Amino acid sequence: MAARFSRLKAQEKKRNVPENCREIISSLPKGQGWASEHVYLYQGFWFDPVILEGVIWAQQSFRAIDTDIFLASSPKCGTTWLKALMFAIANRKRYDSSSQSHPLLTTSPHDCIPTLEILLDHDDPIAYLESLPSSPRLISTHLSYTSLPNSILNADSGSRIVYITRNPKDALVSLWVFSKAIRSENWNHLPPLPIEEAFDLFCEGVSFAGPFWDHVLGYWKASLETPNKVLFLKYEDMKMDTQCWVKRLADFMGHSFSLEEERQGVVQEIIKLCSFQNLTSLEVNKRAGNKEFFRRGEVGDSKNHLTPEMIKRLEEITEQKLATSGLKF
């Protein structure tokens, strides 16, 4: 399977892991992993150890620049879709969205926009970052708001954050299916995690970059306090009225569509290019290591995997966790 998943596994390749990293990780509380054996609780959120090395590296070494735009999310909430949309929006003057040579036709959205906590996989992550086009640099992350590197959070930082979230029931099911695939590929000595166990872990907050609700609330509050810095999006809203939200996204990114572009149908072209149907029809996204990021791409598939009791419990937890926030799914 492609390198993307081996990142979750302890690697033979020597990575420039910060010196104190392994010591920090070995001192952390340990929980049951979904894809790998264990996850570790770091600054209130659970991570696989190899990803955690990248998190600590990012906190110590990453420097945001004012033009950076970050895509933040809990896993399985629409990252791949948003990566495609943000790349297509920001680069539409360079790459015509209807062109037969658009990079998204031959490159996975995950290879168009790098992920902060796996930058450490590059021999020289800083040199790699400097090689990215800065108009703007687009970088994704599953880090919680409070764990983002200081250079992103600083009040005088001009960088911006797009956050995408999703109904926790669908996020849970999507994460469970994805984790099963990675586990069987990389840790086939571990038995598959039954849905009942994954469900209990998710409810307890022990999921990749979880607790899910704390993750969402961190960005939700930041979006209320600093709406020019954080744009808060929901997968379900994006599915319901893609055109409206894609235009909002472009405005927030500082790449608004002109009236002329709207008349020419550029918004529609980008939506079509990045649609689940189009991306899943492309050879590049059918390859192992890429295809796992595409499954159903629908709202409400969780009802096909969770019992009515599970759905009720998850809805109750969600209602209770979000009670005073003003946020609803």
- Active site members: 142
Judged by CB, which is closer to ligand PAP: 153, or 177? 177
Q: Please state, in angstroms and rounded to a whole number, the distance separating the CA atoms of residues 302 and 295.
A: 12
Task: Supply the minimum distance, in Å, between the C-beta of residue 295 and ligand PAP.
Answer: 3
- State the number of binding residues for ligand PAP (CB under 6 A): 22
Q: Please state, in angstroms and rounded to a whole number, the distance separating the CA atoms of residues 253 and 256.
A: 8
Q: Please state, in angstroms and rounded to a whole number, the distance separating the CA atoms of residues 91 and 93.
A: 6
Q: Per CB under 6 A, does 285 bind ligand PAP?
A: no
Is-contact 141 117, C-beta < 8 A? yes
Q: Per CB under 6 A, does 80 bind ligand PAP?
A: yes
Subset of 157-186 contacting ligand PAP (CB under 6 A) = 170, 174, 177
**Among residues 81, 199, 213, 252, the one that binds ligand PAP under rule CB under 6 A:** 81
The span of 3-11, 28-36, 39-47, 287-295 binding ligand PAP (CB under 6 A) equals: 287-295
Cα 5-28-6 angle, rounded to 5 deg: 10
Residues 15-54, one symbol each (x = binds ligand PAP by CB under 6 A, - = not), give ----------------------------------------
Q: Which residues pair with 31 in a beta bridge?
A: 39
Q: Per CB under 6 A, does 136 bind ligand PAP?
A: no
DSSP character string of 18-73: -TTHHHHHHTS-EEE-SSSSEEEEETTEEE-HHHHHHHHHHHHH----TT-EEEEE
Q: Per CB under 6 A, does 297 bind ligand PAP?
A: yes
Task: Supply the minimum distance, in Å, between the C-beta of residue 297 and ligand PAP.
Answer: 3
Q: Per CB under 6 A, does 143 bind ligand PAP?
A: no
**Among residues 76, 169, 180, 183, the one that binds ligand PAP under rule CB under 6 A:** 76
Between helix 212-225 and helix 308-322 the angle, nearest 10°, is 40
The span of 52-60, 79-87, 95-103, 190-198 binding ligand PAP (CB under 6 A) equals: 79-87
The answer to whether the peptide bond before residue 136 is cis (omega within 30 degrees of 0) is yes
Q: Please state, in angstroms and rounded to a whole number, the distance separating the CA atoms of residues 42 and 28.
A: 7
**Among residues 54, 78, 136, 218, the one that binds ligand PAP under rule CB under 6 A:** 78
- Give the amino acid at 294: F
Tokens of 106: 């031959």
Q: Per CB under 6 A, does 276 bind ligand PAP?
A: yes
Q: Per CB under 6 A, does 4 bind ligand PAP?
A: no
The span of 3-11, 54-62, 68-76, 319-327 binding ligand PAP (CB under 6 A) equals: 68-76
Q: Please state, in angstroms and rounded to a whole number, the distance separating the CA atoms of residues 142 and 173.
A: 18
Q: Which spans of this chain sit near ligand PAP (rule: CB under 6 A)? A: 73, 75-81, 84, 170, 174, 177, 274-276, 279, 293-297, 301
